[in-house]
Amino acid sequence: MLINNKLTKLVAIVAIEAITCFSTGCATLSKEECLKGEWRVIGYKDGVKGYDMERLEKHEKACKDYSVKPDVTHYQAGRQAGLTYYCASSQGAAKLSEAESKTDQGDWLAIGFNNGKRGDRLGHMQDYIQDCKQYNIQLDSENYQLGWYKGIVQYCTPENGFEVGQSGEDYDGVCPPHLASAFLDQYLAGLDSKLSSIENDIDSMHLSIKDTINQLEETTDKEKRKSLRSTLDSHQSDYNKLIQKHRKIIRLYNRTQRMLMQLK
């Protein structure tokens, strides 16, 4: 893909409508979850899964489109309650026999594997050490790292690289050098696919905006004009969100190209 052509097209699109603030990050929460605002429950679920506080930043970005800000106090209270279970289950697994611990999903080997498989940095291990220390629970660093390395190998496959790129997710530079190049090649291909999809949506939305404007110009009926203005506002909001997503993917694409150049 010629990235310059993509940028040229973006400039032309931006000239049509005003652009709102730039948003980054993955949608960790749905619109319904953001508007419902059960931040204690959200925090608890994150704590049970062992997510660190960076997860809250992603929630904030996901809910920004709906003008919703997280309740940090309630989220932290819920997360602490969830961490109690998370850390205690890890300690409980350590007390099992060797045969049992190999199959238990709560041990540090499994936790490290799951975190590696979802592309978390190994440095997150320090967060778990601090989180569980308050419950007098010690992380098994050796098993966690062993599990993480096994998990990251599954994350860093070319097939997963394409899926991560196509979903528009950030890549945190976690793949070992011998796996990174093939992963990033397919990550770029996934981003390219995502760009094409967004551009089709932008073109479609632009046509919808033009059609709505034409209808406004052709009618004098007050009720119909009121309805059309509401539709136009909704279309322009969706349009701006698509532009924001497009700019994010362009940013990820350029950054990934630089990563590949450094590997070669």
What's the mean per-residue pLDDT of the chain? 81
Residue type, 227: S
Q: What's the pTM value of the predicted model, to 2 decimals?
A: 0.63
Tokens at residue 30, please? 């749905």
Q: What is the DSSP string of 46-85?
A: HHHTT--THHHHHHHHHHHTTT----HHHHHHHHHHHHHH
Q: Please list, in sequence order, all residues whose beta carbon lies within 8 angstroms of the beta carbon of residue 190, skipping any fewer than 6 positions away.
A: 161, 162, 163, 164, 165, 166, 167
Residue pair 43/82 in contact by the 8 Å Cβ criterion: yes
Residue type, 23: S
What's the length of the chain? 264
User: Left (φ > 0), alpha (ψ -120 to 50) or beta: where does 89 sit?
Assistant: alpha
Q: In whole angstroms, give the CA distance from residue 115 to residue 60.
A: 22
pLDDT one-digit tens code per residue, 25-81: 346 898 889 998 899 889 888 887 878 888 999 999 989 988 999 999 989 888 887
pLDDT one-digit tens code per residue, 131-154: 777 767 777 888 889 999 999 999
